Structure 1
Amino acid sequence: MEHLDPPPPDQWNKRRAWFESFIFDYEERGSYLVGEQASAFICEVQACFCSGAWAATIVLAFTVIEANLQETSGASKKQRSIDLLRSYNSGQKFDALRKRRNALIHATPDYPAITIDQQWDGREALEFEAKEAIKLMFMAFYSQTGT
């Protein structure tokens, strides 16, 4: 499968620059409350994105959102992701990403969330979906201002 080969260096660098442009843009805006685990997972999201692992990027992008909301919520016990999103007033796009992540990691045999045909022939659509997930990830990650 062609997407299992490493991307050419220029493609990797283009994806890396696209990803890091969000980091630089948000970091220039001020101080934020960020969780340790969420911060660590951003590195994983970037590696998956640069390599073209689109489904993994989508799953991990929501993982960052969930981890950061959990870590910065101030709650003494772990909350469900749907409850975290409600308290964050995140809107439809975040809930749609949560549902997409859930569909990808919790297989439904009659309705697969991703198929081998999509991996072969739907690369552009998966890449677009991964980019949208990353945009939401950064929006949520940098949403809570610090001191």
Structure 2
Amino acid sequence: MEHLEPPSEKWNIRREYFENLIFEYEEKGSYLVSEQACALIAEVQSCFCAGAWITVIILAFTVIDAQLRETELLDFKGNSKQLLKRLGFDARFEKLRLRRNELVHINLDSPAITVDQ
């Protein structure tokens, strides 16, 4: 796997940045994070520290989706687009959802990412 590299020398810088960002938002309010979302945030942090940007995008929206389904609308049966709309989330979340979808769902005519990228 020639595209795999050892963890970046920037790992600790990124870890510190990530933890400071989390701390900043924790200070602004007392919001309970669901069990699954909490576990996924740890995965996002690992990927962020490693510089695995595509995985960060995919997991970031997965955290949001898990959190909302476990804490806001427990019995919601719709898709993520409907979930965001029902809760009144703004365009930033929809943009993240769409980018995640581009990366996860293949489009043979227009790949969202290539190995060279």
d(CA) in 2 for partners of 1:110, 1:73: 37
Gaps of 5+ in 1: 119-147
Aligned residues: 116
User: How far off is 1:3 after superposition?
Assistant: 5.8
SS in 1 for 2:28: coil
- Kept in 2: contact 1:3–1:52 (CA 8 A): no
Residues 9-88 of structure 1 mapped to structure 2, 5 A cutoff: 11-88=10-87
Pairwise CA distance, 1:77? 4.0
- Percent of aligned pairs sharing the same letter: 53
Q: Is the 8 A contact 1:66 1:81 kept in 2?
A: yes
| Alpha-carbon distance, 1:56 to partner | 0.5
Q: Which amino acid aligns with 1:90?
A: F
Q: Could you tell me how far 1:2 is from its partner in structure 2? A: 6.4
Structure 2 residue runs without a partner (length 5+): none
**Structure 1 residues 74 and 93: alpha-carbon distance in aligned structure 2, compared to 1, 3 A threshold:** closer
The root-mean-square deviation of aligned C-alpha atoms, in Å, is 1.5
Residues 70 and 79 in structure 1, CA contact (< 8 A), matched pair in contact too = no
CA contact (8 A) 1:70 1:78 kept: no
Query: Which is bigger in relative contact order (C-alpha 8 A, separation at least 6)?
Result: 1
CA distance in 2, matches of 1:4, 1:92: 34
Work out the CA distance in 2 between the residues paired with 1:74 and 1:55: 28
Report Cα offsets for 1:14-64 as digits up to 9, x if no partner. Answer: 100111111111111231132110111000000001011110011000000
Residue 90 of structure 1: how far off its partner (Å): 1.4
Greater helix share, structure number: 1
Per-residue Cα deviation, 1:123-144 (whole angstroms, up to 9, x for no partner): xxxxxxxxxxxxxxxxxxxxxx
Q: Which amino acid aligns with 2:44?
A: V
Question: TM-score if structure 1 supplies the norm length?
Answer: 0.73
Inter-partner Cα distance in structure 2 for 1:77 and 1:117: 39
Residues in 2 aligned to 1:105 and 1:53: alpha-carbon distance in whole angstroms: 15
- SS across alignment from 1:4: coil
